[in-house]
C-alpha cells in the first residue's frame, strides 16, 4: 500500500471540479480490500477523519477532505467478473466508467445508464447516485446496483444484496454475520422528481438504497455488482434546431406525450437555449439563425422505418425543418453530434478561465407540470441578473443546468444570489435542490432549506448510528456541531 504524507505529493487530491480546496495530513492508496479494512478501522480507532476520493470529477466538494486522511481507491480498479448471460458485472470502486464501457464492449454489452462524466469512478458514481444523458429512459445508476460491499468505520464488512433487506415502519432491523443492526430512518419524503440529495428514504425501502447516494458518509464502497445491458442493434440521434425556444419546448412536450402512448421511446432528450447556441456559434458559425436546439437519441430494436417516420413528422409538426436537422446513424455522423454536445462545457470552461472565475450553476429539477413555470423563472432571473448565463441539459427530466458565467467577483456574488432564488423557486414547485450532483460540502444550505432543521437532525442521527464520531466524509451533507 502506498501512503503519502507530504502535502506536495497529494495536492490534486485536495480539490475536485468545484474549485473548493481542502486540507489533509496524508493520503492512503490501498491496492486490496483488506488494506481498506485496516485503514478504515485504524481511522475509526484513532478518531481520524477519513474522506474517500474517487476520480474527483464531483462538482460539490464531496471528495474534498476537511482534515485527517484521504482514502483514494483508484488502485482498487479491477473488473472482477463479467457474466454475459446474466448481464452482471462485479467490479472494484476505482474502475472508471470509460474503462468499464470498453471492457463491456468485448462481450457486446454496455452500461446504458451511462451515469455521468466518463472519467468518474464507479465508487463515486454510486456514492453520488449519479445519472447521465440517458437518464430519461434508463434513470440513474441506482436502478442497476444489485450488490454492494461496504466497509463501516469499525472495519465491519457489510455485504448487501438488493431484494433481501427492507425497512419497515421507518426503521431497519436486521442481522448480518451475527451482528444486529437496528436504526430509524429520517421521516422526510423525498421530492417525486429526479433527485440526488441527502439520504434515500422511502417506506419499505431496500437497504442497498441507503448507501447509494450517501456521499461517503456511512461507509466505503469496496465492491459493486451492476446490471448491464446488451448493446442496441440500431441507434440514431439527432439535433433539431428551432427558430425560438418556445417551439423547442413544445417539441419536447409532444415527444413526452408520444412516449406516454408508447409511440416513441428516446433514451435522451436534451435542450440548448439561445445563449448556449450563441456560445457554440464561435465554433459553428452557421448556427446563426437558430435560437434553440433539442438533442435526442433513439434506440430501435424493430420497425426502424416507422420509428424514423414518426420522428420526422414530430419534427416537422413542431415547426423545425428536416433540412436543418442533424441526423446521425453512422459512426461519423454520430461523432459529429457527440462533438457538438461536448463542445459547450469546454467553451464555458475556457470562458471562465479567461476571467479567472468559476461557474455558478443550479442542479434543480421539477415535475412535468411545473416545468414551464420554472422555465419562465429561469428566463426572468437570468435577464434581471445582467450576468451572462446559459441554460441547457436534461429537459426530458425537467432538469436543466442553469449556468451563470460571471466575469468578475461582483457578478459572481450576484449569480450566487440568483441561484438561491432558483433553488427556492424549484422547492416551491415541489422540486429538488439536487437532481444529480449531490450535496457535498457546497449545497448543504440548500439541503437544509429543502428539508428543514428537524429532518437534518434525523440525518445526523442516522449517520451517528453508523459513524459515532462523524469521521467519514466529514463536512458532507450537513455540519455536525
Ligand atoms: C464535465 C462533467 C460532467 C458531469 N456530468 C455529470 C452528469 O451527467 N451526471 C452526474 O450525475 N454527475 C455529473 N458530473 C459530476 C460527477 O462526475 C459525478 O458526481 C460523479 O459521480 C463523481 O464521481 P467521482 O469518481 O469523480 O467521485 P468524486 O468526485 O471523487 O467523489 C464524489 C463523492 O463520492 C464519494 N466516494 C467516492 N468513491 C467512494 C467510495 N468508493 N465509497 C464511498 N464514497 C465514495 C466521495 O467521498 C465524494 O463524496 C459531471 C462532472 C463533470 C466535471
Q: Does 30 contact ligand 1 (Cβ within 6 A)?
A: no
Answer yes or no: do 60 and 106 share one domain. no
For the segment 451-481, what is each residue's pLDDT rounded down to a tens digit? 999 999 999 999 999 999 999 999 999 998 7
Taking residues 82-108, what's their average pLDDT? Answer: 97
Answer yes or no: do 246 and 148 share one domain. no
Nearest alpha carbon to residue 134 among 224, 229, 39: 229
The residue segments making up the domain with residue 208 are 79-230
Answer yes or no: do 391 and 346 share one domain. yes
Mean pLDDT of the chain: 95
**Which residue from 128, 130, 194 has its CB within 8 A of the most atoms of ligand 1, so it is best to mutate?**
128
Which residues in 362-433 belong to E strands, given as ranges?
389-394, 399-404
- pLDDT at 176 (0 to 100): 87
Answer yes or no: do 103 and 211 share one domain. yes
Instruction: Tell me how far the alpha carbon of residue 306 lies from the centroid of ligand 1, in angstroms.
Output: 39
Q: Which atom of ligand 1 is nearest to the CA of 131?
A: 11
**Which residue from 123, 213, 435 has its CB within 8 A of the most atoms of ligand 1, so it is best to mutate?**
123
Q: Does 130 contact ligand 1 (Cβ within 6 A)?
A: yes
9 Cβ contact partners less than 8 Å away, ≥ 6 residues apart: 27
Q: Which atom of ligand 1 is nearest to the CA of 150?
A: 42
Number of compact structural domains in the chain: 3
Given strand 220-227, what is the order of strands in its sheet? 79-83, 88-91, 220-227, 145-151, 157-161
C-beta separation of 479 from 470 below 8 A: no
Taking residues 103-126, what's their average pLDDT? Answer: 94
**Which residue from 117, 218, 394 has its CB within 8 A of the most atoms of ligand 1, so it is best to mutate?**
117
Q: Does 49 contact ligand 1 (Cβ within 6 A)?
A: no
Q: Does 275 contact ligand 1 (Cβ within 6 A)?
A: no
Answer yes or no: do 127 and 273 share one domain. no
C-beta separation of 153 from 37 below 8 A: no
Instruction: Tell me how far the alpha carbon of residue 214 lies from the centroid of ligand 1, in angstroms.
Output: 12
Answer yes or no: do 329 and 209 share one domain. no
Confidence label for 1 from pLDDT (cuts 50, 70 and 90): confident
Residue 337 lies in a domain: yes
Taking residues 269-274, what's their average pLDDT? Answer: 97
- pLDDT at 349 (0 to 100): 85
| Domain stops at, among 42, 72, 102 | 72
- What Rg, from alpha-carbon coordinates, does the chain have? 22
Instruction: Tell me how far the alpha carbon of residue 59 lies from the centroid of ligand 1, in angstroms.
Output: 7
- pLDDT at 360 (0 to 100): 92
Residue 50 has pLDDT above 90, yes or no: yes
- pLDDT at 178 (0 to 100): 86
Distance (Å, whole) CA 211 – CA 202: 13
Answer yes or no: do 20 and 41 share one domain. yes
Confidence label for 434 from pLDDT (cuts 50, 70 and 90): very high
Task: Please list the residues that pair with 435 across neighbouring strands.
Answer: none
Alpha helices, H only, 107-164: 122-127, 135-138
Q: How many CA atoms lie within 13 A of 362 on its CB side?
A: 35
**Which residue from 15, 53, 58 has its CB within 8 A of the most atoms of ligand 1, so it is best to mutate?**
58
C-beta separation of 375 from 367 below 8 A: no
Distance (Å, whole) CA 327 – CA 307: 14
Answer yes or no: do 294 and 402 share one domain. yes
Bridge-based pairing state of the strands 268-272 and 389-394: antiparallel
CATH number at residue 118: 3.30.465.10
Taking residues 216-235, what's their average pLDDT? Answer: 95
| Domain stops at, among 72, 101, 132 | 72
- pLDDT at 275 (0 to 100): 96
Q: Does 150 contact ligand 1 (Cβ within 6 A)?
A: no
What is the DSSP-derived secondary structure letter of residue 265?
A: -
Residue 248 has pLDDT above 90, yes or no: yes
* DSSP-derived secondary structure for 271-338: EE-HHHHHHHTTT-GGGTT--EEEEEEEEESS-HHHHHHHHHHHHHHTT--GGG-EEE-SHHHHHHHH
Bridge-based pairing state of the strands 50-53 and 69-72: parallel
Residue 146 lies in a domain: yes
| Domain stops at, among 179, 207, 230 | 230
Containing H/E element for 241?
strand 234-242
CATH number at residue 30: 3.30.43.10
Answer yes or no: do 254 and 378 share one domain. yes
CATH number at residue 401: 3.40.462.40
Cell of 434: 439536487
C-beta separation of 140 from 131 below 8 A: yes
Taking residues 375-403, what's their average pLDDT? Answer: 97
Instruction: Tell me how far the alpha carbon of residue 74 lies from the centroid of ligand 1, in angstroms.
Output: 13
Answer yes or no: do 206 and 272 share one domain. no
Amino acid at each position: 500500500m502506498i501512503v503519502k504524507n507530504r502535502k506536495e505529493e497529494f495536492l490534486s487530491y485536495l480539490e475536485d471540479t468545484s474549485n473548493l480546496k481542502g486540507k489533509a495530513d496524508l493520503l492512503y492508496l490501498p491496492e486490496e480490500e483488506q488494506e481498506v479494512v485496516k485503514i478504515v478501522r485504524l481511522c475509526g480507532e484513532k478518531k481520524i477523519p477519513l474522506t474517500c476520493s474517487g476520480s474527483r470529477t464531483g462538482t460539490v466538494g464531496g471528495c474534498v477532505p476537511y482534515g485527517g486522511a484521504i482514502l483514494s481507491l483508484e488502485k482498487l480498479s479491477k473488473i472482477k467478473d463479467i457474466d454475459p448471460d446474466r448481464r452482471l458485472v462485479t467490479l472494484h470502486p476505482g474502475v472508471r466508467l470509460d474503462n468499464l464501457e470498453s471492457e463491456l464492449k468485448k462481450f457486446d454489452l454496455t452500461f446504458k445508464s451511462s451515469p455521468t462524466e466518463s472519467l468518474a469512478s464507479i465508487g463515486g458514481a454510486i456514492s453520488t447516485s449519479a445519472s447521465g444523458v440517458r437518464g430519461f429512459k434508463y434513470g440513474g445508476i441506482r436502478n442497476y446496483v444489485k450488490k454492494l460491499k461496504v466497509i463501516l468505520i469499525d472495519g465491519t464488512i457489510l455485504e448487501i444484496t438488493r431484494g433481501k433487506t427492507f425497512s419497515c415502519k421507518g426503521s431497519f432491523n436486521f442481522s448480518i454475520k451475527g451482528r444486529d443492526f437496528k436504526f430509524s430512518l429520517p421521516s422526510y419524503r423525498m421530492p417525486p422528481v429526479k433527485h440526488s440529495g441527502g439520504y434515500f428514504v422511502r417506506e419499505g425501502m431496500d437497504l442497498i438504497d441507503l448507501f447509494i447516494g450517501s456521499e461517503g458518509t456511512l461507509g466505503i464502497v469496496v465492491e459493486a455488482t451492476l446490471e448491464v445491458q446488451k448493446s442496441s442493434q440500431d441507434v440514431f440521434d439527432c439535433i433539431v434546431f428551432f427558430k425560438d425556444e418556445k417551439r423547442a419546448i413544445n417539441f419536447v412536450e409532444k415527444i413526452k406525450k408520444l412516449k406516454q402512448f408508447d409511440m416513441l421511446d428516446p433514451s435522451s432528450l436534451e435542450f440548448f437555449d439561445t445563449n448556449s447556441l450563441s456560445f457554440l456559434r464561435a465554433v459553428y458559425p452557421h448556427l446563426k439563425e437558430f435560437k434553440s436546439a433539442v438533442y435526442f437519441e433513439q434506440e430501435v430494436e424493430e420497425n426502424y422505418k416507422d420509428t424514423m417516420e414518426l420522428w420526422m413528422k414530430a419534427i416537422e409538426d413542431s415547426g423545425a425543418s428536416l433540412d436543418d436537422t442533424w441526423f446521425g446513424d453512422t459512426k461519423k455522423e454520430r461523432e459529429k453530434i457527440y462533438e457538438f454536445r461536448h463542445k459547450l462545457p469546454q467553451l464555458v470552461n475556457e470562458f471562465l478561465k479567461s476571467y479567472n472565475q468559476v461557474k455558478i450553476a443550479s442542479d434543480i429539477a421539477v415535475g412535468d407540470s411545473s416545468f414551464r413555470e420554472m422555465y419562465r423563472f429561469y428566463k426572468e432571473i437570468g435577464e434581471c441578473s445582467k450576468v451572462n448565463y446559459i441554460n441547457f441539459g436534461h429537459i426530458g427530466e425537467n432538469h436543466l443546468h442553469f449556468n451563470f458565467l460571471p466575469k468578475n467577483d461582483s457578478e459572481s456574488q450576484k449569480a450566487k444570489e440568483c441561484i438561491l432564488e432558483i433553488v427556492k423557486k424549484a422547492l416551491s414547485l415541489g422540486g429538488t435542490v439536487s437532481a444529480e450532483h449531490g450535496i457535498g460540502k457546497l449545497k448543504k444550505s440548500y439541503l437544509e432549506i429543502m428539508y428543514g432543521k428537524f429532518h437534518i437532525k434525523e440525518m445526523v442521527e442516522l449517520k451517528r448510528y453508523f459513524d459515532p464520531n462523524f469521521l467519514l466524509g466529514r463536512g458532507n451533507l450537513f455540519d455536525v456541531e
